[in-house]
Amino acid sequence: MKPVVSIVAALVPEYGIGYNGTLPWKLRKEMQYFKKITTTTLDPSKKNAVIMGRKTWESIPPKFRPLPERLNVVISSKYPDTWNLLENTGSTTSCSSAADTVIKYNNLQQSIANLQKMNDVERIYIIGGAQVYNATFDLATHLLITEIQMADKPNEHGDNESLAINQNIPPPMDTFLDAISIQRKFVKKDTQTWNSFTLNTFNTQDTHTEGNYKFQFTLYEPKLKRSLEN
């Protein structure tokens, strides 16, 4: 079976991922990581699929969608149950002629099952939003979580008033991953395992700092490992 991978940036320890339908941060290196991970394949003749909810799809600026070099699958209960490519109505076992087009479908679990049957899809990435993430923890074989924290700000004056002024305040959050499910079902893996799974596409798992945030790329796998075919 193909890997089913949730990939998300979250503010730990509460695992907040959004506010008012948008990202609370803009992290250039994290966006580069997301693009590279979701587009890279071992087999150059294959593509990866990205699955998202309708609101996540609509939050992407029109000029950037569909996400290029990936098969885009958008899920909504409002869509019909017809599974085919919007711009190409060919076989459901191939995406090679439509890697940048979109499938709209109304069933998340069945969409994953259909993608598993497509010969030239290598990996299936879940990219949001929270409802879609939380509904796939029992299906995901891996979680790629960019763990974000507030960066430390030095207090130049050393007094309590200055400390309060200089201290970074976390951004407001109204959208969260199911932290209990993550902690109960998954375990964080070491750097070597992360590097192998991400196909050595990123140079380092070191902590990065941008603006008010510091973050690290991490890999989680189920405590009860799901078997995958090579």
> For residue 190, which phi and psi values (nearest 5 degrees)?
-80, 175
Angle (CA) 26-27-33 rounded to 5° is: 130
Q: Which residue has the tokens 């506010």?
A: 19
Helix intervals (H) in the chain: 28-39, 54-59, 108-116, 130-135, 160-166, 179-185, 191-197
Other C-beta atoms lying within 10 Å of the C-beta of residue 178: 15
Give the per-residue SS3 of 40-84: CCCCCCCEEEEEEEHHHHHHCCHHHCCCCCEEEEEECCCCCCCCC
Catalytic residue among 23, 122, 147, 210: 23
Active-site residue flag, 161: no
Tokens of 36: 């590279």
CA end-to-end span of the chain: 8
- 54 burial (CB, 10 Å; 0-12 / 13-18 / 19+) is middle
As a whole number of Å, the CA-based R_g of the chain is 19
Exactly one of 11, 27, 30, 108 is catalytic; name it: 30
Cβ–Cβ < 8 Å for 186, 143: yes
Is residue 210 among the annotated active site residues?
no
Q: Which residues form the catalytic set?
A: 23, 30
